[in-house]
């Protein structure tokens, strides 16, 4: 008999949402029960239909009409899209893994605080730049107290950036800077975030340059803790790499992080999609493991058990 899986849904059928669908299809712990957009002829919906996945173009109303279909939903719309639907998902008692930079729920970087998913009904996966930089910046901040300023700049291939990403670009900057501040303790006014999209037809892997300004650092202290953070990260983002050797010149530590994706839906160079989707799948699987481990009595039914233990009752007015 197949092992039980957690029923999940996706809202947002663009680049992020469709790649997530492919990652869920590979998962031993998750199964996609509803793939939802607002345009029945989107490429993502066509692809999902061809895979036999139930789809809807009714946006959040699809979940209102089927409140028991999914125990967890990945939001891959836009920051404004998520702000508009967050209360509805909360009233339905559906756990949210938010891949937009809406910052409705607490910020989550899996190698630092994956357990947020067990404690909160809505977790925010920050941004691709945040997932690429913060695991490293957090190690630096744990070793050196007197960081004066941090700047990060990510370089992405143009075909890896969807319209929603461009539409919520201000939220990208503010959420990434806020998350860097939260996970390093450096004041937000001293954090600078930049994003460059390649204009030529060249398809670079995602490359993020981190610059950390601080005096009197012994950079050798960084190497062992950084290696162990890298090992932890590569368990769910195999293409995460530090290019060359971190350097320290003129009171600035410089570290180059590259991310190569797994090529699930989008090509491998789109590490920016892969890193946030892999982070989202990682925490959803952690939650699924917790829930599925409770299912000692098969006959009681895993989904009833989830409903009993983790959900608030749906708000009947909304449902």
Ligand X SMILES: NC(=O)c1ccc[n+]([C@@H]2O[C@H](COP(=O)([O-])OP(=O)(O)OC[C@H]3O[C@@H](n4cnc5c(N)ncnc54)[C@H](OP(=O)(O)O)[C@@H]3O)[C@@H](O)[C@H]2O)c1
Structure tokens at 258: 């590259």
Interhelix angle 128-143/271-293, rounded to 10 degrees, is 80
> Which residues between 181 and 220 bind ligand X (CB under 6 A)?
none
When asked if residue 23 is in the footprint of ligand X (CB under 6 A), the reply is no
When asked if residue 99 is in the footprint of ligand X (CB under 6 A), the reply is yes
Instruction: Pick the binder of ligand X from 7, 165, 184, 262 (CB under 6 A).
Output: 165
Q: Could you tell me which of 314, 308, 312, 303 has the C-alpha nearest to residue 71?
A: 303
Q: What is the DSSP letter of 201?
A: S
When asked if residue 229 is in the footprint of ligand X (CB under 6 A), the reply is no
- Helix, strand, coil % (nearest 5) of the chain? 45, 20, 35
Minimum distance of ligand X from residue 88's CB (angstroms): 11
Q: Could you tell me which of 100, 199, 207, 209 has the C-alpha nearest to residue 159?
A: 199
Instruction: Pick the binder of ligand X from 127, 133, 208, 278 (CB under 6 A).
Output: 127
Q: Which CB atom, from 40 or from 231, has the smaller least distance to ligand X?
A: 40
When asked if residue 15 is in the footprint of ligand X (CB under 6 A), the reply is yes
When asked if residue 158 is in the footprint of ligand X (CB under 6 A), the reply is no
Active site residues: 128
When asked if residue 261 is in the footprint of ligand X (CB under 6 A), the reply is no
Instruction: Pick the binder of ligand X from 9, 12, 135, 246 (CB under 6 A).
Output: 12
Q: Find the part of the chain contacting ligand X (CB under 6 A) among 13-21, 24-32, 111-119, 253-261.
A: 13-21
Q: Find the part of the chain contacting ligand X (CB under 6 A) among 37-45, 236-244, 245-253, 299-307.
A: 37-45
Instruction: Pick the binder of ligand X from 37, 67, 110, 135 (CB under 6 A).
Output: 37
Task: Return the residue nearest ligand X (CB atom).
Answer: 14
Instruction: Pick the binder of ligand X from 5, 24, 42, 186 (CB under 6 A).
Output: 42
Q: Apex CA 132: angle with CA 281 and CA 134, to 5°?
A: 100
Instruction: Pick the binder of ligand X from 163, 247, 304, 308 (CB under 6 A).
Output: 163
When asked if residue 308 is in the footprint of ligand X (CB under 6 A), the reply is no
The number of residues that bind ligand X (CB under 6 A) is: 33
> Which residues between 49 and 78 bind ligand X (CB under 6 A)?
59, 76-78
Interhelix angle 271-293/302-310, rounded to 10 degrees, is 90
Say if residues 68 and 319 touch (Cβ distance below 8 Å): no
Exposed/middle/buried for residue 11 (C-beta within 10 Å: 0-12, 13-18, 19+): buried
When asked if residue 117 is in the footprint of ligand X (CB under 6 A), the reply is no
For 270-299, letters b (16+ CB in 10 Å) and e give bbbbbbbbbbbbbbbbbbbeebbeebeeee
Say if residues 125 and 100 touch (Cβ distance below 8 Å): no
Contacts with 160 (C-beta within 8 Å, 6 or more apart), sequence order: 15, 206, 266, 269, 270, 272, 273
- Which residues contact ligand X by CB under 6 A? 11-17, 37-39, 42, 59, 76-79, 81, 99-101, 127-128, 160-165, 168, 172, 272-273, 276
């Amino acid at each position: 008999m197949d092992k039980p899986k957690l029923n999940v849904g996706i809202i947002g059928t663009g680049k992020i949402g469709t790649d997530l669908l492919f990652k869920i299809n590979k998962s031993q712990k998750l199964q996609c029960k509803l793939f939802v957009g607002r345009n029945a002829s989107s490429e993502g919906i066509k692809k999902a239909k061809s895979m036999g996945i139930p789809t809807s173009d009714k946006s959040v109303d699809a979940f209102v009409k089927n409140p028991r279909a999914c125990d967890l939903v990945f939001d891959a719309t836009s920051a404004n899209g998520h702000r508009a639907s967050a209360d509805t998902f909360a009233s339905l008692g559906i756990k949210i893994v938010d891949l937009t930079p809406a910052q409705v729920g607490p910020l989550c970087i899996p190698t630092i605080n994956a357990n947020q998913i067990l404690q909160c009904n809505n977790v925010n996966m920050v941004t691709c730049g945040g997932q690429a930089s913060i695991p490293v910046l957090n190690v630096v901040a744990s070793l050196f107290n007197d960081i004066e300023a941090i700047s990060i700049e990510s370089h992405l291939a143009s075909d890896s950036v969807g319209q929603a990403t461009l539409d919520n670009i201000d939220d990208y900057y503010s959420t990434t800077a806020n998350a860097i501040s939260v996970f390093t303790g450096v004041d937000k006014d001293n954090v600078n975030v930049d994003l460059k999209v390649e204009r030529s037809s060249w398809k670079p892997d995602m490359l993020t340059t981190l610059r950390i300004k601080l005096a009197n650092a012994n950079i050798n202290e960084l190497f062992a803790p950084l290696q162990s953070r890298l090992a932890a990260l590569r368990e769910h983002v195999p293409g995460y790499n530090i290019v060359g050797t971190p350097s320290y010149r003129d009171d600035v530590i410089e570290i180059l992080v590259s991310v190569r994706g797994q090529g699930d839906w989008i090509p491998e160079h789109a590490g920016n999609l892969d890193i946030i989707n892999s982070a989202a799948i990682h925490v959803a699987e952690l939650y699924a493991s917790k829930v599925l481990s409770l299912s000692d009595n098969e006959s009681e039914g895993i989904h009833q058990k989830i409903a009993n233990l983790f959900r608030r009752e749906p708000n009947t007015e909304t449902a």
